[in-house]
Structures are given as structure tokens and as C-alpha cells.
Amino acid sequence: MKILYVCHRFPFPPKRGGKIRPFNMIRHFAQNHEVTVCSLVRSDEEAAEGEGIATHCAHFEMGRVSNAVQNVRMVARLPTLEPSSMGYFYSPDLARRIKALVQAQKFDLIFVHCSSVAQYVENINGIPKILDFGDMDSQKWLEYVRFKPFPLNLGYWLEGTKMERAERRLATRFDLCTATTRAEWASLEGYGTGVPTDWFPNGVDADFFQPDGATYDPDTISFIGRMDYYPNQECMFDFCDRVWPLLKARRPQLKLVIVGADPIPAVRKLEERDGITVTGSVPDVRPHVLRSALMVAPLNIARGTQNKILEAMAMGVPVVTSEVAAGGVDAESENHFLVANTPEAYANAILRIVENPAERERLAIAGRQRMLSHHAWPRSMERLDAIVERCVTDFGNKKGIRQ
């Protein structure tokens, strides 16, 4: 098949959550199909790095945008019914490129990852189309309402409400819609659009993220995540305020390493607390995770799958996480990782691992095995292949009936 693949962030190199899922789909599709990739780039550096996608697809198009212009497009949509997110991911240049591609070539499938770029192909007919929402973005914005102060929270409520309206409408413009987890799929199904839906999970590269056999520091715990991302910031502020004092009281030598690009000043300020280090951007997060006794993922706002959890478990590093973040991982609490919801529960779970090497070893082995069996990309791509076959077959049958 000839597949037109549209996504919101240029999918190479796959160094962050928004790029990992689309890259693995593209790489998989390209094994048996001719794939054309269309997406946005926001800097010369991103464009240069993105050229590497050439070895994983037949052709690609980059829509060049600047954050300044995109921010204006976001603001311009505030008084309208259209979500500001649609403005942030809209490029007239990319729209023209996609239109020209569809007019010049006969594509057998259009696949879109992320609702914010569905706008480029929503009005194209005559070709089977799949929209992979991934996470239901509207629900993330609506979650922010509980954590943002007034009147800022009203802005998130407005965006979330408009985004949900857009998601419902966009779903009806595609032949099949998908999500990342069962929970996200349930949200999608709850829209009741009548459009067929399904889900397929994120995977993890268990060859890249694997144990290295070296020793770890039993008095170091880690957190991994981009620190310009609000859910990561919020959970670290909350953890350091409410959990860290409990841990230090019971194990004074304990250390916390916060690893992630672009920490804001308030995150940097956490270093003033005893035992906390904020690294900023690092060439490779793996050594920081592998040398720690465990990785903590105490997210209070979490949609879809937290790749940081999959990667740590694949490396054989135990994870202590929140219930909301655990919902995006196909694993069982107590058997494969530990789940907590209160400061005391977090402290108890963390110390249970730190102070008991045998317990750490048990969770390390069980966690990696679960990643190999339930979050391997080949298994996920098998589900994707079945979804694509279902969509194309159903489209062909409907077309035959109409003719």
C-alpha cells in the first residue's frame, strides 16, 4: 500500500513521547508499504535532525513554522469555537504540501497521529482514513483545571471543552479511530460517535533499554521527564513538598536526581533542598536510571502511557508510581511495580525497595519480563496491522455497496 502518514511532531529522532509512537509506526509500516511522512518542524536543529527519517520512509515533507507565529495562531482562535491547539499545529505550507501530494498520488490509506493535525485531511474523501488520537487531549486540558489557579484554570477549561467538541467532530470524519490505552479508548468510545474504534499500546525498545549488570546506589532514586512539561513540574513540586521530608526523616542519606531537559527556575530551585539534584538536559538518561535504586513517577496528571515507566521497567529498575499513571501501563501493582496515592504510601513503597535488595531484585526481574511480554513494539504492531486491515477491508466493502 501507499500510506500518507501525518503527525504533529516530526518523528525523528524519537527522543520524546510525542515522537516515539509515530516513529515506531512509520518504521513498521515501511517494512511492507510505501510511506510518505508529513509533519512540522520548529527549528533548524529539528529540521536537520529530522532528515534521518529518510532511511525509514519513501518520502517526507516538513512544514516549517516558528513558535512566535504559532502562538499568534493560538491566540487568534480564543474567541472562536476552534481549539487553540489547532492553531498551534497548523501550517498553511504543510496544508498545501499535503493537498498537492493527495492530488498527485493515489494513496491507499491516510493515517493521522494526534487530533491536532487531523485538520489537514479531515475533508479528504475516497481514501480510507485512520485517526490515532493517542491520548484524548481534551481530557488532559480538563484535568489541568483542578491544578491551575483561578482565572488561569478557566482558560484550560475553555480549551478542553473546545477540544472535546473538536474530537467528537473529527472522529466522524475518519473511518476508524484509535487510542493508546484501554482507558483512553474508553473515553473515545464514550463519545458515542458510531465510528469504529480500537486501541494499541505503546511499546518499549527492550534492546536499547536493558539492564547493564552494573551496581546501583541504594540511596539514590530518580525521576525522568522533560521539565518544561507541566505535569512533570507539578508532580515534582508535590513530591518534594509532601513526600521528600518523610523520606529524609527516615533515611537521611537518601538522594533524589531529577533528570530532564529545560527545567524552569522553580524546578532548579528544588536543588536548594537537601539531597536533591536537578541535572537539566543529559546526553543519555539511561545511566541515571540504571544507577538508581528505583524510579519514581508520582504523576497527578497523566493521560495515556508514560514512556518513562516502560523504559525504567525494561532496564530492570523498579518503579513506584501513582494510580493515574499506572493506568497507562499493562502491568499489575505489587507484581510488576508499586502504586501509591498518599505521601505516606509513597514513602513506604520507596523505602520498601531501598531497604530490601531482594525486593528490588524481584520487582526488577518481574518488571522487565512484563515489558517483554506486554509492551514490546512487535506485539503492538501486530494489533496495528489488524486494525489497518479491518479499516481498509470495511472501506472497500462499503465502497462496493455504494457502487
| pLDDT at res. 16 | 82
Contacts of 145 (CB under 8 A, 6+ apart): 153, 156, 157, 160
Q: How many CA atoms lie within 13 A of 295 on its CB side?
A: 30
| pLDDT at res. 399 | 73
Query: pTM score, two decimals?
Result: 0.90
Q: How many CA atoms lie within 13 A of 203 on its CB side?
A: 21
What is the pairing mode between strands 319-322 and 217-224? unpaired
pLDDT by position in tens, the chain (length 403): 999 999 999 999 998 878 999 999 999 999 999 999 999 999 999 999 999 999 999 999 999 999 999 999 999 999 999 999 999 999 999 999 999 999 999 999 999 999 999 999 999 999 999 999 999 999 999 999 999 999 999 999 999 999 999 999 999 999 999 999 999 999 999 999 999 999 999 999 999 999 999 999 999 999 999 999 999 999 999 999 999 999 999 999 999 999 999 999 999 999 999 999 999 999 999 999 999 999 999 999 988 889 999 999 999 999 999 999 999 999 999 999 999 999 999 999 999 999 999 999 999 999 999 999 999 999 999 999 999 999 999 999 987 655 4
Q: Is 264 buried (19+), middle (13-18) or exposed (0-12) by CB count in 10 A?
A: exposed
* Beta bridge pairs of residue 110: 4, 129
Instruction: Report d(CA 70, CA 196) in Å as an integer.
Output: 33
User: What CATH number labels 217-374?
Assistant: 3.40.50.2000
Segments of the chain assigned to CATH 3.40.50.2000: 2-202+377-402, 217-374
Class of domain 2-202+377-402: alpha beta
Q: Provide the 10 A C-beta neighbour count for residue 350.
A: 26
Cβ-count burial 122-153 (b if 16+ within 10 Å, e if not): beeeebbbbbbbbbbbbbbbbbbbebbeeeee
Whole-Å CA distances, 41 to 9, 10, 17, 157, 158: 7, 6, 16, 28, 27
Query: Mind giving me the DSSP string for 241-269?
Result: HHTHHHHHHH-TT-EEEEE-SS--HHHHG
Whole-Å CA distances, 237 to 17, 113, 230, 241: 21, 31, 11, 6
Dump pLDDT digits (tens) for 237-257: 999 999 999 999 999 999 999
Q: Is 270 buried (19+), middle (13-18) or exposed (0-12) by CB count in 10 A?
A: buried
Query: Mind giving me the DSSP string for 276-345?
Result: EEEEES-S-SHHHHHTEEEEEE--SS--S--HHHHHHHHTT--EEEEHHHHTTSS--BTTTBEEE-SHHH
Look at residues 324, 289, 329 and name the one whose alpha carbon lies nearest to residue 305: 329
CB distance 210 to 190 below 8 Å: no
Contacts of 155 (CB under 8 A, 6+ apart): 148
Instruction: Report d(CA 194, CA 359) in Å as an integer.
Output: 47
Q: Provide the 10 A C-beta neighbour count for residue 182.
A: 12
| pLDDT at res. 401 | 59
Question: Grid coordinates 469504529 are at which residue?
Answer: 196
* DSSP 3-state of 204: strand
Q: Is the peptide bond before 378 cis (omega within 30 degrees of 0)?
A: no
